[in-house]
Structure 1
Amino acid sequence: MAQRKPFNIVIIGQAGRLQYEAALFAASLRHSAPGFQGRLFVATPRAGSLWQKDPQVRNRGVLELFERLGAEVLPFDSRIFGESYPYGNKIEALMALPKGEPFVFFDSDTLITDELSDVPFDFDRPSASLRCEGTWPKPTLYGPGIEQIWAALYDRFGLDFATSQDRWQPDGHWRRYLYFNAGFFYGACPHRFGTRFAEYATSIRDDLPVELVGQSLNPWLDQIALPLVIHSFGGGREALVPGYLDGKTSCHYRLFPLLYARESDRVIEVLEEVAAPNWIKKVLKTYEPIKRMVYQGRGAKVRALFDQDNLPRREQVIRNRIKSNGLWMR
């Protein structure tokens, strides 16, 4: 078997919830992927004019946990988005990574559950998470339709719209058009990828195509620009072999009540194993959702509300059932 190219990982960490999720991600990576040979960066936005409060991680316990887990804190400047669109952190952080070295971005609310070095990445053909719903666009009654909206974006950036489509899906169905969850994505060079990502996102935000008038950009801007960026680099929906990310190798859980409600027994096992050591527990238990869900058993109560082999199809139904039983936390 050919030697796979080493790569770096980047996640976002900042004061508040993300710093604890980032620590849990790092712990799960070291537990589940001992063969990973790259660097793990926790990218943290510096304080500046685009932030009302200092977003940097200053919690000493969390910083010590990062160091012990081999996670490198990587400060970056917010020049485009900042507090007005914090999802833009994943765009701006890319420019702080080592130039020319392959990267994988993960949302911080992710667990690594198997050997990451076994994932057959082709960094010259980028891709991203297909674990998504048709959240954007939402065509209005009098148009334009979903195809016209996406076509306008491809035209804006001189991209071939026809080759991006899944011809197995009918016209007008959201899955026909390239769309990803930005919970993970990867590429060959973070600077090239990040520059183009920022260019496309700011062009859409600051000079809205007329076909997008009436469409919400918040919080969807990163997921609107991402498929365009991926297509521009020759990637797409089939660039990554299915079953690894968002499968046996990683889990983008998003919120702890949702994790306990719908994820596999393996994910629960990894979560509770990596959170168990005292030197990790003493830090993570200072974050209330982890304290109550993981350490005080609220997660097990949430899990008992559902049959994981027969879950409600709509996430809102899951949320409502958890809330009606007084077990919701975020």
Structure 2
Amino acid sequence: MQADFDIVIVAQAGRLEAEALLLAASLRRFSPGFAGRLVVAEPQPGPLWPDDPRLTPEGRDMLVELGATLLPFESRRFGAAYPHGNKIEALAAMPPRPFLFLDSDTLVTAEIGALPLERPSASMRREATWPVPRPGWPGYEAVWRALHERFGLEIEPTLDPARSAEDWQRYLYFNAGWVCGPDARAFGARWGEWACAVLDDPPPALDGQVLHPWLDQAVLPLVVAAFGGGRPGAGLSGLDGPATCHYRTFPLLYARESDAVVAALEEVAAPNQLKRLLKRHEPILRMVYQGRGRRVRALFDRAALPAAEKEIRNILRSHGFWMR
């Protein structure tokens, strides 16, 4: 059965444009049954963008040819100072419809159109990036409880009771690489309002915590819980699984992702009309078209990868393969 929802991504000139083209091409190739809209949200010039963030005309035309609907939106809170806020403001500019937000550095690798999005959730493919333990801090329990209490939320229903109080995985914490829910506009509006509240007046338990670039992920669990959501259920197991891959960067993709993901990337990047645009982004040129990705792949055993992404990045840097 096909669900009725929008896939929302953000794209602008440069890296995100190239990633958006690959995402749109992969959606068309590997999820032909998707019956909803692919909405490409594009930030517009304004006081928060010193440089024009809009897509190139060629990139915009190709996205439309690949089936995307373009959605211009104004940056009222974040802009260039905090581009992670694009996703928040893009969702707030959407119609009040079910949505699946995907970071632009994502490939669709299987049918995606029947996902159950009635209950808000987000990606669990994350590490212990925030909050950061430091001398004298009050601990995970105090930080997360203070944030929940700030917005009148009960923390107990969000906890994983199988984990101890100072295990970071006890607390609802997501990667914002994918986010879903039944009402994009309401979700984005709440996310933006609460993110600004935390940024402008953080609870005392957050003293010493750095909110940039983690603000969106620090507030996301609160918004998910406020709309009755939580950790993703079995129906969403295809995300960060057989249906999507949030690869982050092209060197990381070649280092750690499956043979199927690499094959999907190289297949959708092959058509000459798309290749002409993608070659403008140097990491795609080097990794995909000039074959450096295959050399990266030979450095790693996918069955025994380093536990932390930072270790993989360090290996890539030491061999001269790191590119963003």
Q: Shorter-chain TM-score: what band?
A: over 0.9
Which residue, out of 117, 120, 126, partners 1:122? 117
**Residues 4 and 35 in structure 2, CA contact (< 8 A), matched pair in contact too:** yes
Which residue, out of 77, 98, 105, partners 1:80? 77
Partner of 1:30: 28
Identity, in percent, stands at 55
1:307 equivalenced with 2:301 (yes/no): yes
The amino acid across from 2:179 in the alignment is F
**Residues 47 and 55 in structure 1, CA contact (< 8 A), matched pair in contact too:** yes
1:66 equivalenced with 2:63 (yes/no): yes
Partner of 1:247: 241
Runs of 4+ in 1 over 2 A off after TM superposition: 238-243
Offset, 1:238 = 3.9
Which residue, out of 122, 126, 143, partners 1:149? 143
Matched residue SS, 1:244: coil
**Residues 122 and 240 in structure 1, CA contact (< 8 A), matched pair in contact too:** no
Matched residue SS, 2:180: strand
Partner of 1:12: 10
CA distance in 2, matches of 1:179, 1:261: 25
The two structures have a TM-score, normalised by structure 1, of 0.96
Which residue, out of 257, 260, 269, partners 1:266? 260
Q: Larger deviation: 140-149 or 266-275?
A: 140-149
Matched residue SS, 2:304: coil
Partner of 2:104: 108
CA distance in 2, matches of 1:63, 1:264: 30
Unaligned runs of 5+ in 1: none
CA distance in 2, matches of 1:222, 1:285: 31
**Residues paired across the two proteins, number:** 324
Matched residue SS, 1:74: strand
Q: 1:238 to 1:8 in 2, by over 3 A?
A: closer
Unaligned runs of 5+ in 2: none
Deviations 1:267-315 (A, max 9, x none): 0010000001111111111211111110110000000111111111122
CA distance in 2, matches of 1:92, 1:117: 24
Matched residue SS, 1:72: strand
Offset, 1:207 = 1.0
Matched residue SS, 1:117: coil
Offset, 1:242 = 5.3
Offset, 1:327 = 1.8
Q: Larger deviation: 156-165 or 317-326?
A: 317-326
Q: Larger deviation: 314-323 or 39-48?
A: 314-323
Q: 1:300 to 1:11 in 2, by over 3 A?
A: same
Partner of 1:208: 202
Offset, 1:140 = 2.5
**Residues 36 and 116 in structure 1, CA contact (< 8 A), matched pair in contact too:** yes
The two structures have a TM-score, normalised by structure 2, of 0.97
CA distance in 2, matches of 1:312, 1:292: 24
Aligned CA RMSD, in angstroms, stands at 1.1
Deviations 1:148-201 (A, max 9, x none): 010000000000111110001111100000000000001111111111111110
CA distance in 2, matches of 1:216, 1:76: 28
The amino acid across from 1:60 in the alignment is P
CA distance in 1, matches of 2:124, 2:255: 20
The amino acid across from 1:97 in the alignment is M
Matched residue SS, 1:35: coil
Q: 1:328 to 1:143 in 2, by over 3 A?
A: closer
